[in-house]
Amino acid sequence: MIIAVELWGYSVGMKIGDVIEFSLPDQSGKAISLKQYRGKPVVLFFYPRADTPGCTVEACEFQSLYGQLEAAGAVLLGISRDTPGKQKKFADKFGLTYPLLADSDLVVAKQFDVVKEASMYGKPVTKVERSTFVFDKDGKLEAEFRGVKPEGHAAEMLALVKGVA
């Protein structure tokens, strides 16, 4: 369930330098917003579905570097179209200790333009493109990475944050 979405700066699209604000429930149902992390860089990664092979690789690689991201002063947030309950099962199963946000209605994913139409076995499907967005300490969009591969992506984001932080 979406709580709120706002885009400050541009009325159409999202550009580097924009301040984006939204609030979504995490795996425990607690509302998490980008605004609450002002003063720290934020790494926000979108993944298609909890507990699928690629998403598990990506989420676990981020978990293995989570302490280093925190030491660099950064916040890590994962987001998918799963419910808070499914996010909790995913987090518990793999020991993920950072917030996993539930965007069941895809409202935030659409704002970030990561919702893509595709075909699977000849039928149309709606997918979430694996993408990562990095915000600076002031909440401005610093960088975006679309269509990323799960393997090694977390290490790339750690290197970037060390330069941003």
| Residue of 24, 34, 43, 55 marked catalytic | 55
The pLDDT, as a whole number, for residue 122 is 87
Decide if 55 is catalytic.
yes
Least confident of 28-32, 70-74, 117-121: 117-121
Please, what are the domains in the chain? Answer: 4-164 (3.40.30.10)
Q: What is the per-residue pLDDT across 115-150, written as a single tens digit (0 to 9) for each?
A: 988 887 888 888 899 999 999 999 999 999 999 999
Phi, psi of 110 (to 5 degrees): -65, -40
Sign, CA torsion 87/29/113/37: negative
In whole angstroms, give the CA distance from residue 144 to residue 43: 10
Query: What is this structure's pTM?
Result: 0.88
